[in-house]
Amino acid sequence: MASVKDNLLTKGFSGRIGDEIVFRQVGKRTLVAKRPRKSTLLTPGQEAQRELFRKAVTFAKTMMLNPEVKADYALRARMAGLASPYSAAVTDYLKQPELTSIDTDYYQGAVGDIIWVIALDDFKLQKVTVVIQRADGTMLESGDAELTNGRWKYEASQANASVVGSKVIVTAIDRPGRIASLEKLL
């Protein structure tokens, strides 16, 4: 792909010339490229990627209808160097939230013990839920964690007499509804 620089004749061109050359406008630049050829047969991976992108576009269009959400995405776009709030919303949909760690050092099975979670998203998380299961797999308690100084804090509300063998399951949900989960065996 070539870029047109200071050519008064082709500056601002957009479209196709013949069957081989295409002019495009990207930002304030004019780009020249060979005409793209569409493949008629797509692999299952390509079909899945197209479906994911179609859902991202639908999500972004819906988010742009809400002025408050659009303002949030506009701020995110400026911070990330993205072209528009729309592109920030598409990016938000395409990036899965990530759970990096569950810190159970302060959890000894008593009411009020703290479990810390580090959960990341390119925009912001809507909710982080913590579930504590007993060693036999039954649920002891469940609840939402609170964001405190960049980490998510969960305070135990039930006593756990047998901490060894218990499991902590954390789920993070972002604005598009994409989910990430992480488990830790105690």
> Whole domain around residue 25: which residue ranges?
10-38
Do 175 and 109 reside in the same domain of the chain? yes
Residue 123 lies in a domain: yes
Q: Does the pTM exceed 0.75?
A: no
DSSP secondary structure letter of residue 35: P
The per-residue pLDDT for range 141-175, each reduced to its tens digit, is 999 999 999 899 999 999 998 889 999 999 999 99
> Who contacts 168 (Cβ-Cβ below 8 Å, separation ≥6)?
102, 104, 107, 115, 130, 131, 132, 133, 183, 184, 186
Whether residue 75 sits in one domain with residue 140? no
Q: What is the pLDDT of residue 68?
A: 94
Instruction: Give the pLDDT band of residue 44 (cuts 50, 70, 90).
Output: very high
pLDDT per residue as tens digits for the range 122-146: 888 999 999 999 988 899 999 999 9
User: Both 72 and 151 in a single domain?
Assistant: no
Q: Is residue 157 part of a domain?
A: yes
Is 172 among the domain residues?
yes
Identify the burial level of 182 via C-beta atoms within 10 angstroms of its C-beta, where 0-12 means exposed, 13-18 middle and 19 or more buried. Answer: middle
